[in-house]
Amino acid sequence: MNTLSRRGFLAASAAALGAAQMPHIAFAQGMAPISLSAATRTLDIDGRAATVFGLAGLGGQGLILNPGQRFRIDLTNDLDVGTIIHWHGQIPPNAQDGVPDMPMPLLAPGETRSYDFEARPGTHWMHSHVPTQEMQLLAAPLIVRSAEDVAADRQDVVMFLHDFSFKAPEEVLAEIGAGHGGGHGAGHGAGVQPDQGAPMGGMGAMQGMDHGAMGHGGMGNMGGMMGMGGQMGGMAMDLNDYDWDAYLANDRTLSDPEVVQVERGGRIRLRVINAAAATVFWIDTGGAEARLVAADGHAVQPLSGTRFGLAMGQRLDIEIDLPNEGGAWPILALREGARERTGLILATQGAEVRRLDDMAETAAPAFDTDLAQEARLIALDALPDRPVDRSQMLMLGGSMQPYVWTINGAVWGQHQPVAARRGERVVLSFHNMSMMAHPMHLHGHVFQVVGLNGRRVAGALRDTVHVPPMSMVDVALDAGEAARWMLHCHHMPHLATGMMTEFAVTASV
């Protein structure tokens, strides 16, 4: 325990935390590999048992590595189906990246495979790279602490977000594909009639009306489809193409949220991971003063506020300074364009914790349709300035009907690889020509956001960038290991329809 900070120690030893909830602290010196297994587990979701997948062998906060500790894992597949885990945010040798047949096959049931590489600090996560398995919660936090994290007098709190359905993921995908994604409400079926004259219309926009989403965030003009090149304010976009049964923070809903014991006047580093299949969240710290300090595990110039958003695959580190008094501070995650919410509670010892409804009174706005949040993020460690060797445009397309999503007009299997040579400075321009947002994730690299709708910025370092409808985001990177790296949308139903290509790096000349 000697490497834990005072607050970390206090939190970890609090009576509220059973042994199973203790963080998995592993020490750097001479340690054996950590054993993890992909397995089934049972959750209680609002009083109803749910059998889901998960990674066993971890504490409640996920896998936590200390500074200098290598990523040494023996992964065993205890499921009765093949699986493979991607270490999202890490840059392992390509053979350990965890994508089916790229280049390693799925682990067969009962198989164990070893992983060993240098861990990159920050808030990251790990998940099955089979979309239906990720939708079944085969995912967990992966936190690598920096020396600064260890020295700082602050308490780490992990907030791992997911969306959940009691239905099998294949059934969920079939419903989305058939245009019944939002079909939970009476009379909703009438809203999903194909609108042949408006290819961008359909269920998402209609669902938004059900949820009152269009009255917020400058998303008026419900009925009409915008013209190309129009501004976001007059646009009807498609949000939330599926109504999930529950929204989870650390596997719990607001009917029984995690209550994290904190100190009066304490400083919290909230590590938020959006592991949802298809839900963008706003993090709302309510009455607690907060600042955003890292995106996707990379430090940004601190940005003050009480509400920050993140798309699927993304992470945010938010520092919170608690007042010098006792109390309870809910940290909520709001589903964009809707009233549903989830979250956890920070509470001092003995504080009264009030039950919160899992529906807000008003819908949260759509996230970052104008890239306003992204524009405010500035990397602390920008990429070194150098000439660009290669630029590539990636057109993001697709529609709700038929439900198919593409990169450069192609689905996976018909794609043209995006090519580069090792060491080249490459700029990728994601141009979203569709009415849904796409969080685009590149494996094996860290990129910097350098352009937002044509305006140059010295933006955040990331591995997953949110590209809103009818928007363009440029990212710069230095091409890494000569290998085939996945480049895909992190919306699982989009990925399942084939919204993936490859960044094919060849050896330098």
Site of interaction with Cu ion (CB under 5 A): 438, 489, 491, 494
438 vs 441, beta carbon nearer Cu ion: 438
Helix (H, G, I), strand (E, B) or coil at 500: strand
Closest CB 432 distance from Cu ion, rounded Å: 9
Task: Report DSSP state, residue 11.
Answer: H
> Rounded distance, CA 161 to CA 137, Å?
10
Q: For residues 342 and 249, give the distance between their C-alpha atoms in angstroms, rounded to a whole number.
A: 6
Q: Tell me how far, at minimum, the Cβ of 494 lies from Cu ion, in Å.
A: 3
How many whole angstroms separate alpha carbon 422 and alpha carbon 443? 14
Closer of 154 and 438 to Cu ion (Cβ): 438
Residue 248 Cβ, how far from Cu ion at the closest point, in Å?
Answer: 21
Minimum Å gap between C-beta 82 and Cu ion is 25
Separation CA 221–CA 208 (nearest Å): 12
CA angle at 66 for the pair 61 and 71, rounded to the nearest 5°: 90
Shortest Cβ 159–Cu ion spacing (Å): 23
Nearer to Cu ion, 162 or 490 (CB): 490
Shortest separation between residue 405's beta carbon and Cu ion, angstroms:
5
Cβ at position 394, least distance to Cu ion in Å: 12
Cβ neighbours of residue 2 under 8 Å, at least 6 residues apart? Answer: none
Which segments within 400-493 are labelled E, that is strand?
A: 404-407, 418-421, 425-432, 438-442, 447-452, 455-456, 461-462, 464-467, 472-478, 484-489
Cα dihedral 399, 400, 406, 412 sign: negative
Task: Return the number of the residue (394 or 489) whose C-beta is nearest Cu ion.
Answer: 489
Minimum CB distance to Cu ion smaller for 120 or for 438: 438
> Nearer Cβ to Cu ion, position 351 or 489?
489
Of the candidates 269, 261, 206, 249, the one whose C-alpha atom is nearest the C-alpha of residue 341 is: 249
Question: Closest approach of Cβ 224 to Cu ion, in Å?
Answer: 23
Pick the closer one to Cu ion by CB: 249 or 396. 396
C-beta separation of 223 from 191 below 8 A: no
Asked if residue 450 lies in contact with residue 458, where contact means CB atoms within 8 angstroms, the answer is yes
Identity of the residue, 341 or 491, whose beta carbon is nearer to Cu ion in the bound complex: 491
